[in-house]
Amino acid sequence: MSVPADHPKTAPEKIGVLLLNLGTPDATDYWSVRRYLKEFLSDPRVIETPKWLWWPILNLVILSFRPQKSGHAYEQIWDKRTNESPLRVITRAQSEKLAERLSGMDNIVVDWAMRYGTPSTKSVLEKMQAAGCRKILLAPLYPQYSATTTATANDKAFDALKDMRWQPAVRTLPAYFDSPTYVKTLAESIRQGVEGLDFEPDVVLTSYHGMPVEYYEKGDPYYDQCLETTRLVREYLGWPEDKLMVTFQSRFGRAEWLKPYTAETLEELPKQGKTKIAILAPAFSADCIETLEEIAITGRESFLEAGGEQFAYIPCLNDSEAGMDMLEAVVRRELAGWI
C-alpha cells in the first residue's frame, strides 16, 4: 500500500517510564491551594461519601476555610529557591536521576506527573505518546497499595488513554511494600538516621498516612501492607516489637480512621516515660506537607509540649543514592521483557 506524501512520520519506537505522585498546589495563595484541594477532595476514590451529600460540604464549607489553613502549612515548608513545593522538587529529581541511570538504553524515556495539579498525568502521557513511547510503565510512587493512592493514580492515566486513538501498551508498577530491596533500603535509612542522632530513641515510630476504617473493611489492603512493611523492617534490624511502632496520621473528618493515631501517640508517649523518639513516614516516597509540616513541625511541637525531650524526623528515601538504587531496581524488574 502506498503512503501519501503528506502522511505524518511516526517517531522511532520508545519505552516510557512515568513516575506518578499525589500532587501539589502551584503556589501557597488561597486560589492555588483551593484549586488543588478541590481536585483532590472531589476524587470519589479519596472521598467515598455520595456526591449529592459531599458536594455542598466540600464547596460550601471545606473550600471556604481549608485553603487558608493549608496554604499557611505549605508556606512553612515551601522551597523558596525554586518557588515550588518539596514534593514537586523531589519527584522531578527522582525522574531526572532515574533517566540518567537508564540512559544506557537509548530507547527509554523517563518522565513524571501528578495525579492532582501540574504537570497533569494526561499532559505528560500525551507528550510521551507523541515522542514515540509505544510501551509505558506507569509507576505510582506508593510502596503500599491503596485505592486512594495507587488506584486513583492509575485511574487518571487510564482516563487519558481512553482519549488516545493510538494507545501505547501499558504496565503498572505493583506495590513494593515487601520487596527485599525496599525493606533493606528503608531499614538501613532508619539505622543510619538513628545512628546519626545525639541521643538514643526510646521508640521509633513508622507513621503511615491514614484512611477511614470503612475503606479497609471494604477490602483495601493498605493497612495490612503497612503492618507487614514495619514487621519486615523490624526483623531486618533485629529490634524488639516495642522499639519500632506503627501509627497512622492525617486523619480527616469525623469517621473512625486506622489506629493508633500518630497525633495521639505523640501526646501519650511522654506519659509512658518515653521522652526520646524518632519518627519516619514509610508510605511516602518523597517528603511533602504531610511529613515536613504535619510530622517534623507540628508533630514535634505536640510531642515536646506533652513532655517529650528529644524528637527527630528521619527523611523519606527521596532522591538519595540508596533510594534511587531501590527505585531503579523495582522499575527494571517491571520492565523485564521490554528491555
**Cα(63)–Cα(183) distance, integer angstroms:** 39
- CB-neighbour burial class of residue 200 (10 A; exposed 0-12, middle 13-18, buried 19+): exposed
**234 closest CA partner among 333, 124, 242, 93:** 242
**7 annotated as belonging to a binding site for a ligand:** no
H/E stretch holding 245: strand 244-249
Amino acid making up residue 100: E
Q: In terms of residues, how long is the chain?
A: 339
| pLDDT in single tens digits along all 339 residues of the chain | 565 666 666 668 999 999 999 999 999 999 999 999 999 999 999 999 999 999 999 999 999 999 999 999 999 999 999 999 999 999 999 999 999 999 987 799 999 999 999 999 999 999 999 999 999 999 999 999 999 999 999 999 999 999 999 999 999 999 999 999 999 999 999 999 999 999 999 999 999 999 999 999 999 999 999 999 999 999 999 999 999 999 999 998 889 999 999 999 999 999 999 999 999 999 999 999 999 999 999 999 999 999 999 999 999 999 999 999 999 999 999 999 998
**Cα(74)–Cα(63) distance, integer angstroms:** 16
**Cα(265)–Cα(246) distance, integer angstroms:** 10
CATH 3.40.228.10 fits 180-313, yes or no: no
pLDDT of residue 2: 61
How far apart, in Å, are the Cα atoms of 88 and each of 15, 19, 319? 23, 12, 12
In CATH, what number does 14-175+322-334 get? 3.40.50.1400
**172 closest CA partner among 196, 194, 152, 199:** 152
**290 annotated as belonging to a binding site for a ligand:** yes
pLDDT of residue 12: 81
**Cα(113)–Cα(111) distance, integer angstroms:** 7
How far apart, in Å, are the Cα atoms of 333 and each of 21, 61, 100, 139, 165? 20, 46, 17, 12, 29
In which residue ranges of the chain is CATH 3.40.50.1400 found?
A: 14-175+322-334, 180-313
The answer to whether 209 and 250 have CB atoms below 8 angstroms apart is yes
H/E stretch holding 109: strand 108-117
Q: What is 119-168 written as a DSSP string? A: SBHHHHHHHHHHTTEEEEEEEE--SS--IIIIIHHHHHHHHHHHT-SSPP
Q: Which residues, at least 6 apart from 113, have a Cβ–Cβ distance to it below 8 Å?
A: 18, 19, 20, 21, 119, 120, 121, 123, 124, 125
Q: Model's pTM, two decimal places?
A: 0.94
